Structure formats: C-alpha cells, structure tokens
Structure 1
Amino acid sequence: MQPASSRSLHALALCLATLMGCSGTSEETVQQTSPLSGIAMADNVCSLCHGLTGESASPRFPKLAGQQNEYLQLQLSDFKNHGRSAETDSRYMGGLSHLTKTQIAELADYFASQRAMQADSGTPDARGAVIFHQGLPERGVPPCSACHGKDGGGNGVIPRVAGQHASYMSHQIMVLQQTGQRPNGAPMLPVDHALTPADAESVARYMAALGAKQ
C-alpha cells in the first residue's frame, strides 16, 4: 500500500492532468482517462484556491459557497469554452477546457449546496447601500437589488453577491465594463459604465457585508 502522502500527490497530479490536458482531447476520452467526480475535483483541486467548502480565504479568489447553481454552471461552461478572457481568468482557470458536462454539474451542485458565503464583518458602506437599494437614477443606474435581490442572494444565472469578497466584486465591476472579457456579462454594461471606481468600491463593500456574519 502506498503511503498517504504518495497517494495524495498521485491524486493531485491526476486532478491537474484533468484540468490541463491536451486541447485536442474529446470529452469522451477525458471521461475514460480521468473519471474524477466533481466532488473529488472540489476536494483535490478547487479547494486549493477556493477553500474546501467554497469559503475562500484570499480575496483574489471568489467565494463559491452557496452560490447559485445555474450561475456556477454558466461560469464553468464559459471557462471550458474560453468565454472569459480577463487576465486573471486565463491565468488561474485556463485549464478547464476538458471539464465534462457531468463534472460541471457536480461541481455546481457541490458548491451551491454549501452554507452560504459568510458576510464581511466590516461596517456597511452608506454610499454602497444607496446604490444597491436605490440605484443612481440621475445616471440611469437601477438598484442592484432589482436583479440580485434585496438580500443579495441572486437567482438562477444572476449570482449571489451577499458575503462575496469586496475587492473581488469591485474588480469584476471594472471587468464587466469591458464586455469582450465577459460576454455573458453584457447586460451589465449600461450599469457598470455609469459607476465610477469609487462607486464600485462602495457598493462592493456594502454587498460584502450583507448576509450572515462569520
């Protein structure tokens, strides 16, 4: 029997091979050569950045805990099909082209079923609260709550924002101003273009403080 450390390294190597294999491999071949379940991938690969339950410690990586299932599947499919071209997306997630539909569904089910991401313990941002609940009518910005829900929980392909890392969300608002990097974020273009970097940071801080505290 192999030592536990050796087995762990072997499992990790297999997981990485799943994510970074040859771009010409078909989904059927990947299924035959890498039968890892979504849960195994979450445990051995995704957890390295996002945390075992999706409650990532670093704001560089988004929290996935309790995220909307449909949204997770859409984003994983975008990574698989190289539909997200922002530099950080390509750097960290560029090897997901060989995810199978089954693995995508299992990963989404796993993270969506976790306890919802925990809110930032910081004081809610007053300016952000206005933007989130009332919008900025003078600039044509609707309230964020109109789509993301008054509690920031999201719905379907609209992501949960309550409890997400503030710096991650403010960065994504800026990325979404460039729809070429996030084509599926095109509906956000009119909203995001009307937000200044200061507004983006304010509403991101407010959304991070929504939900259950840690």
Structure 2
Amino acid sequence: MNKAILSVVLGAALLATGCSDFKSDTESTRNLNDPSVSGRTLAEQVCAICHGVDGNSKNPVFPRLAGQQPAYLTEQLKAFRSHDRSDVLGYKYMWGIARNLTNKQIDELAQYYKGQTAIPGQVKETALVAQGDAIFHHGVEATSVPACASCHGPQGHGHDGFPRLASQHEDYILKQLSVFKHTNDRYAGMGAMMSPVAYNLSGNQARAVAAYLSVQR
C-alpha cells in the first residue's frame, strides 16, 4: 500500500470510528510521514483506531498497550519497522504503520502507553484462572516449563524487555503463544526465549495462563 492510499484509508477509518473527535494539546494530524508529529498525537489520532485512545483495545485482535513496558514496546515497534517481526497480524497491520516512525516517535509512543492505566478483563472460568495462576507462578515441572513470573514478574507487569502481560486479552495471548510454538515469526530478540516455553505448554495449559493473565490488574 503506497503512502497516499494509506493516508486515505487511515483517514476514513478514523472518521468511521469517531476518532476525529480526539484532541491533542499540540498538533492535530494524521500524517504518518511527518517526523515532527509527536508520539502522543500519533497515539491519540492513529494508533487509537485499533488500540483505543487509552491503550485498552476492545478487539482482542489488537493488544492492549496500556501500562506496557517502554523497553519492550520500543523493541517491538522497531522490529515491525525493520520487518524482523513477521507474524501475520504484525505484517498485516503494523509494517505499514511503523515503517516511517522515527526513533523519537517510537520512544514517545512507548512512554505514552506506559502512562496509561490497564483495565483487566472479567473472570469467566474460576477453575481455569486458578490453574493459570499455578502455572504462572510455579511453572509445569513435568514438561520443564519455568514459572512465567520468573521473567514477567510476580504480578505479570514485566520489566525492561520483558512485556507486561497482566490485563492483556486472553485471545491475544493465546494467539502469540501459538506463534511462538509453531513459527519463527517472532524469533528475533527475546522472542527466541519463548519458543521452547510455548512448545511445552499444552493447549489447555496455555488457555489457563491466558485466562489468568487477562484478569490481572
């Protein structure tokens, strides 16, 4: 998709979703090719189409970014820009968006989302959440799955390059675990660490962990 078409599509989408009402303290623009546009404005007027203005997306196809670790989000945006992250959803939605982002804009986007408050989902299956709690904090000894908390923190808030998982969409977590398990599309950087972990999780165990994390604050 060339730049002109991309701008038209984004503009139409913004109007269709009511994003034209979003206001910024600074500039007002939807031009992805202007390096002077702040990350905050991009977040409010472009990224909000899919991720929500506060980073709490409604559609589980798109991850919740509210409260995300800046180092992780910076790494992922740069991976989309360089095409090092090539999972299907990333390729479909993020390559075109990220390709003209400057390092400054990426840093500002990461800080913007870090400052937003994550909103957890609601418990649907208590037993499944309890199973996920046990796996997250203690791992699965029988299949050498380490405790998720050892990297992502005891509350799932992440740190440095390890992402925040608390409050993330259950379906999105499941999709990413499947990507790690069955493809090399996210093998770059720290993604390589997740492949053996995801491979040794059963489908039900993955669902339990995802259900648990989705309802954590």
Q: Structure 2-normalised TM-score? A: 0.81
Distance 1:78 1:178, change over 3 A: farther
Task: Select 2:156's aligned residue among 152, 166, 177.
Answer: 152
Q: Please list every run of at least 4 consecutive aligned residues from structure 1 whose deviation after the TM superposition is greater than 2 angstroms.
A: 8-12
1:55–1:64 contact (8 Å) kept in structure 2: yes
Asked if 1:201 is matched to 2:203, the reply is no
- CA distance in 2: counterparts of 1:100 and 1:178, whole angstroms: 32
- Structure 2 residue aligned with 1:11: 29
- CA distance in 2: counterparts of 1:179 and 1:186, whole angstroms: 11
- Structure 1 residue aligned with 2:138: 134
* Residue type of the alignment partner of 1:11: T
Deviation of the 1:11 alpha carbon: 3.0
* Residue identity (%): 39
Asked if 1:41 is matched to 2:42, the reply is yes
- Structure 2 residue aligned with 1:25: none
- CA distance in 1: counterparts of 2:197 and 2:83, whole angstroms: 24
Deviation of the 1:178 alpha carbon: 4.2
2:40–2:108 contact (8 Å) kept in structure 1: yes
Deviation of the 1:65 alpha carbon: 0.5
Deviation of the 1:42 alpha carbon: 0.6
* Residue type of the alignment partner of 1:65: A
- CA distance in 1: counterparts of 2:182 and 2:69, whole angstroms: 23
- Structure 2 residue aligned with 1:108: 110
Q: Structure 1-normalised TM-score? A: 0.82
* Residue type of the alignment partner of 1:176: F
Segments of structure 2 that go 5 or more residues without pairing to the other structure are 1-14, 22-27
Deviation of the 1:180 alpha carbon: 2.1
2:152–2:163 contact (8 Å) kept in structure 1: yes
1:84–1:181 contact (8 Å) kept in structure 2: yes
Deviation of the 1:179 alpha carbon: 5.3
- The CA deviation string for residues 133-179 of structure 1, in whole angstroms up to 9 with x for no partner, is 11101100011111111111100110111111011001101111245
- CA distance in 2: counterparts of 1:181 and 1:187, whole angstroms: 13
- CA distance in 1: counterparts of 2:42 and 2:141, whole angstroms: 44
